[in-house]
Amino acid sequence: MSDSTAISNSTAAEAGDSHHGEHPPYQRHHFETVDQQFDATNFAMWLFLLTEVMFFGGLFTAYLIMRNWYYPAFVEGSHQLSIFWGTANTAVLILSSFTMAMSVWSAEKRRRGSLVLYLCLTLMFGFTFLGIKGIEWHEKWEKHHIPGSSFSVQSFVNPASDPEVYKEYHDPPLAPDMAQKTEQYFFLYFAMTGMHALHMVIGVGILIFMIFRARGGAYTTGHVTFVENFGLYWHFVDIIWIYLFALLYLISRH
C-alpha cells in the first residue's frame, strides 16, 4: 500500500499509544510499531538466508569430497573454464553488490531518483552476469562438455586436441577412468552454477518489480524494509558466487 500521505501519518503513530491509533498504511495490524515490523522482517530474512547457507552447504560438501577423490580430473576440468569470463563475472557481481548497497542508502535517504538509478544499475549488472554465464555455458555446449549423452572426454584423454587450453596449461593426458570423472566435475559445475543462476534469476525478477514500485515512490517514504531485505538476499547470492569462483575456477592454474 504505497501512499504519499504516509509521511504525515507516521508522526501521528509515534506520538501516542498504538491500539486503534493511526499508523502508517504499510504497518501490518499485528505489529505494535513500525520498528517492530522492520526488526521482525529483517530478522526473518536473515533466518531465510541461514536456510540458503545450509542448502548450498550440502552441495559444497558433495563437491569437496568429489574434488579430493578425483583431483586430476577436476584440475583439467577447471582448465576448460575461462578465467577471463569468470573474473569478469566476479567483478560484475561485486559491482552489483555495491550498487545494491547504494540503493538501500538511497531509500534510507529518501532519494527516489537515486534509488531508481542504483536499482537499474544493479539490474543491469545482474543481466550482464547472466549473459556472461550464457556465453560460458554455450561454449561448454560447443566443446561437448555438457554432461550427458553428448559429453566427450576427448579433451582430457588427449589434451593436445584442444590447442587453446593445451597451450596454457600443458595438461598430461588422463587415463580413461579418471577422464570419465571430468563429467562429474562438469555435473557439479552446472549444478552449483545453475542453482546460483536460478537464485540470480529470482533476484532479477524481484528487482524489476522493485524498480516499478520505486518509481512510484513506495520505498522513499520511510518504508525501506523491502529494499533492505532484498539487499540482504542479493549480497548473499554474491557471496555464494565468491566461493564458487574460488572453488570451481581457481583449482590450479599453475
Does 141 interact with other proteins (rule: CB under 8 A)?
A: no
Could you tell me the smallest distance in angstroms from the CB atom of residue 47 to other proteins?
5
Nearer to other proteins, 147 or 161 (CB): 147
Does 133 interact with other proteins (rule: CB under 8 A)?
A: no
Residue by residue, DSSP assigns the chain as ---TTHHHHHHHHHHS--SSS---TTS-TT-SSHHHHHHHHHHHHHHHHHHHHHHHHHHHHHHHHHHHHTHHHHHHHHHTS-HHHHHHHHHHHHHHHHHHHHHHHHHHTT-HHHHHHHHHHHHHHHHHHHHHHHHHHHHHHHTT-SSSTT---HHHHSGGGSHHHHHHH-PPPPPHHHHHHHHHHHHHHHHHHHHHHHHHHHHHHHHHHHHHHHHTTTTSSS--HHHHHHHHHHHHHHHHHHHHIIIII-S---
Nearer to other proteins, 35 or 161 (CB): 35
CA pair distance 10, 181, nearest whole angstrom: 61
Could you tell me the smallest distance in angstroms from the CB atom of residue 70 to other proteins?
7
Q: List the grid coordinates of 57.
A: 552447504
Find the binder of other proteins among 16, 58, 150, 163 (CB under 8 A). Answer: 58
Stretch that binds other proteins, among 60-68, 152-160, 202-210, 211-219 (CB under 8 A): 60-68
> Taking a C-beta distance cutoff of 8 angstroms, is the pair 182, 71 a contact?
no
Size of the site for other proteins (CB under 8 A): 82
Nearer to other proteins, 156 or 249 (CB): 249
Stretch that binds other proteins, among 126-134, 155-163, 176-184, 209-217 (CB under 8 A): 176-184
Interacting residues with other proteins between 185 and 244 (CB under 8 A):
187-188, 191, 222, 231-232, 235-236, 238-239, 242-243
Does 250 interact with other proteins (rule: CB under 8 A)?
A: yes
Q: Which amino acid is at 26?
A: Y
Find the binder of other proteins among 72, 82, 105, 124 (CB under 8 A). Answer: 105
Could you tell me the smallest distance in angstroms from the CB atom of residue 63 to other proteins?
9
CA pair distance 73, 181, nearest whole angstrom: 6
Stretch that binds other proteins, among 122-130, 134-142, 158-166, 175-183 (CB under 8 A): 175-183
Find the binder of other proteins among 1, 19, 142, 167 (CB under 8 A). Answer: 19
Does 25 interact with other proteins (rule: CB under 8 A)?
A: no
Does 12 interact with other proteins (rule: CB under 8 A)?
A: no
Could you tell me the smallest distance in angstroms from the CB atom of residue 133 to other proteins?
17
